[in-house]
Amino acid sequence: MHTQSTQVTRGRCAAACWLARVRGATLLIHEATFEAALGHHARAKGHSTLQEALQVAQDMGAYRTVLTHFSQRYPRLPAGYPSSARPWRQRPLLAVDGAIVRFSLLPRLPALMPTVAAALEELEEQPAE
């Protein structure tokens, strides 16, 4: 897999002591509730922006990152989600309700993100009932 030992962590803040303990984690699961423009709302409510979550992943050197809680109301790709210009192995994964993923598939999951993104965009384009 990624390293000799596997470490999974979930994050909400970038405190130096926390980052030191989880540096090089195999998997970071991080909420990304707000878009960058709503950073003040994120801080007021104890949440993170997409950009803050991605920065934590970069700072800790996480092998894979799963973003959660990115839309409470709409099944859509979070605004600011890294474009396809970013190498696919560096793209964060998006959590989908009910998804179950085998840990052994982590190396290949980023390749699925264009399909997940397309499905979310298709759902967003459908008229509300």
Residue 33 belongs to what domain range? 8-125
pTM (two decimals): 0.73
Largest CA distance in the chain: 50
Let me know if residue 37 belongs to a domain.
yes
Q: What residues contact residue 18 under an 8 Å CB cut-off, 6+ apart?
A: 11
Let me know if residue 1 belongs to a domain.
no
What's the pLDDT score for residue 128?
62
What's the pLDDT score for residue 40?
85
**H or E element: which one contains 59?**
helix 50-60
- Which CATH number do you get for residue 25? 3.60.15.10
Let me know if residue 3 belongs to a domain.
no
What total of structural domains would you count in the chain? 1
Let me know if residue 45 belongs to a domain.
yes
What's the pLDDT score for residue 9?
62
Q: Other CB atoms closer than 10 Å to residue 7's CB: what's the count? A: 16
Mean pLDDT for back-to-back runs of 10 residues, the chain (129 residues): 58 64 86 82 84 87 84 59 66 80 86 79 70
Distance CA 75, CA 53 (A): 19
